[in-house]
Amino acid sequence: MQISVTSRPPAARADDLIVLLDPSAARELFDPARAAALPGWDDLARHRKTNEVKCPYQASGGAPLLYLPGAIAPYWDDDEKIRILGGKTWDLALDRHARRIVLMLDGRHGPDAAPLAAEGLALRAYRFTKYKKGAEPKREPSVTLVVSDTNRAAVDRAVKRRLTVIESVNAARDLVNEPGSALTPADLEQAARAVARRRGLKITVLNEPELRKQGYNGLLTVGRGGTVPPRMIILRYQPAGRGARKDVHLGLLGKGVTFDTGGISIKPSARMWEMKGDMGGAAAALFAMDAIAQLKPAVAVTAILVTAQNYVDRNSVLPGDIFVAKNGKTVHVDNTDAEGRLILSDGLCRMGEERVTHLVDAATLTGAVVRALGPALTGVLGNDQFADEVIEIAATQGEPCWRLPLVEEYRQWLDIEVADLNNISNPACSLYAGATTAALFLREFVPQGVHWAHLDIAGTSLVTGQYKYFRPGATGVMVRTMAALAERLAARPADG
């Protein structure tokens, strides 16, 4: 997407779409006498019913389309409204065959408006049409953001930073949107190697023999029935220079089940296709690293992608099987469709070996969080106030979250006679607090002394209809938050 920032409105073209956030800005651009004669101008100038009108541009006498955005749902915060405006503007430009969008960002909205609008435009411009015949995209309009002269240089830098992150978000969306047969654990490894090569990251891949040698039995158990062996992919970003933090090491862990049939505890057929997206957490962690490597925060970051296929096969793990986890605890597999926590247990243990101080895991983990919070909120659970910090950062990135409790009383629901842990709640409590009990299971493997936040993105990783500035499909959720978190940790005081 071609976006430029200027402090002077460009010369008019008849195929422009001019967007005014404030009706008073029209006085700077248009000949009032000529404009007043046009149908709809009176309503437009008073910010009443009409949202768009053809209006002569004072400089050239052309007739661009002028758009004054109407009210956006009041439940969105101001930043999100501007992102949504960006998305609406993109759709209108395509519908009206505009060749250029000129977005007038007046001072009332401050210097943050331009990067937010650019973000909404770039997220809405994304399309996944790889497998759709005749879906060649319409010619994309260019975008000019008009801002005050005093802020132009800073705004230009902020826009470029946001577009860097959104490029990574959209790359994550590409991975999640791929069919399960086209994105196996081996394909995810190749995608990670490409990111590492492009961004100068170090990469280590533990394949099946190495997983067995090191005792990562969660991955081996889940991946037994897959056609492609599981693996653990480790990416490392190490900041250069003397200003790098020595006391903070961020870990990003992503669940990467490239297709989840549920295994022997097979899922219902309705909407099972969505389980191609059960690697949304791994995609988020991978492309957060893609963004982080470009933003260059002064803090070490390690990402681990735990990836497997959960298939139905004669070799698949059976309900009632027991395995020894990496930390020595025995785990009884009550339900093979609660597989994500099994592979995450390996990643959590490995994070201890990597000596991280702060740890975020992202996983499409439970249907319970979808029932509790729906598609608007990611569920967050954690072992201390670090989880609140992640929630605060996510809110600034347009990825709202809600903290759910780790209820200590519920830990006993994971007890079972034959092993140290059951992988789901006991039958008497199986309908209760599924997101909480899943996180309680994960906590058993969190390295001691590490600040931990668990992000259950089952409801936010994929949308099935038009939502805000997203088209149906993957959202790339948590790439923005993870990248911003790395920057926050790099900048905060050493005693934080």
Q: Of 393, 427, 387, which is closest to residue 406 (Cα–Cα)?
A: 387
Residues catalogued as catalytic? 267, 341
User: pLDDT-derived band of residue 31, with 50, 70 and 90 as boundaries?
Assistant: low
Instruction: Inform me whether the pLDDT recorded for 74 exceeds 80.
Output: no
Structure tokens at 25: 């800005």
Distance CA 257, CA 223 (A): 9
- State residue 49's pLDDT score: 46
SS3 content of the chain, % helix, strand, coil (to 5): 40, 20, 40
| Farthest CA pair distance, the chain | 85
Find where tokens 């009443």 sit. Answer: 48
Q: pLDDT confidence of 492, banded at 50, 70, 90? A: confident
Residue 229: count other Cβ atoms within 10 Å of its Cβ. Answer: 19
Residue with tokens 């401050």: 110
Give φ, ψ of 19 to 5 degrees.
-115, 125
pLDDT of 58: 39
Overall average pLDDT of the 372-389 stretch: 98
Q: Output the CA torsion sign for 483, 223, 461, 196.
A: positive
Q: Is the dihedral of CA 191, 307, 126, 455 positive or negative?
A: negative
Residue 169 pLDDT level (bands cut at 50, 70, 90) = very high
Distance CA 327, CA 341 (A): 14
Pure H helices in 277-339: 280-295
CA distances from 380 to 46, 288, 457 (A): 44, 18, 9
Token code pair at residue 473: 């499909």
pLDDT bucket at 469, cuts 50 / 70 / 90: very high
**Quick check: 69 pLDDT over 80?**
no
pLDDT of residue 106: 65
pLDDT in tens, 195-232: 999 999 999 999 999 999 999 999 999 999 999 999 99
- By mean pLDDT, which of 98-112, 199-213, 296-310 is the weakest? 98-112
User: What DSSP element (H or E) covers 83?
Assistant: helix 78-95
Q: What is the secondary structure of 421-460 as a DSSP string? A: EESS--GGGTTS-HHHHHHHHHHTTSPTT-EEEEEE-TTT
CA dihedral 203, 205, 206, 208 (to 10 degrees): 180
Q: List Cα–Cα distances, 320 to 196, 264, 267, in angstroms.
A: 39, 11, 18
Q: Which residue has the higher pLDDT, 233 or 73?
A: 233
Binning pLDDT at 50, 70 and 90, where does residue 487 land?
very high
pLDDT at 59 (0 to 100) = 39
Domains of the chain (ranges; CATH) run 3-164 (3.40.220.10), 178-491 (3.40.630.10)
Is there a contact between 265 and 320 (Cβ–Cβ < 8 Å)? no
Rounded Cα distance between 285 and 253, Å, is: 6
CA distance 135 to 94: 14
Tokens of 171: 């790359």
Which residue is it, tokens 């132009």? 152
At 139 the pLDDT is 83
pTM (two decimals): 0.93
Q: Give helix 386-396 / helix 479-491 axis angle, nearest 10°.
A: 120
User: pLDDT per residue over 118-140, tens digit each?
Assistant: 999 999 999 999 999 877 667 89
Residue 13: pLDDT band (50, 70, 90) is confident
State the average pLDDT for the chain.
90
pLDDT band, residue 188 (cuts 50/70/90): very high
Q: Which of 3-12, 79-88, 315-324 has the highest mean pLDDT?
A: 315-324
The per-residue pLDDT for 232 is 99
Chain-centre distance of CA 261, in angstroms? 23
What pLDDT band is residue 26 in, cutting at 50, 70 and 90? Answer: low
Question: 438-455 pLDDT, tens per residue?
Answer: 999 999 999 999 999 999
Q: What is the mean pLDDT of residues 227-242?
A: 96
Percent of the chain with pLDDT over 90: 75
* Residue 250 CA: distances (Å) to CA of 358, 440, 454: 5, 21, 14
| Residue-level pLDDT at 22 | 63
Examine the pLDDT at 72 and tell me if it is beyond 90. no
Confidence of residue 114 (pLDDT cuts 50, 70, 90): very high
Burial (0-12, 13-18, 19+ Cβ within 10 Å), 405 = exposed
Task: Give pLDDT, residue 65.
Answer: 66
DSSP E strands in 98-168: the ranges are: 100-104, 142-146
- Model confidence over 311-344: pLDDT tens digits? 999 999 999 999 999 999 999 999 999 999 999 9
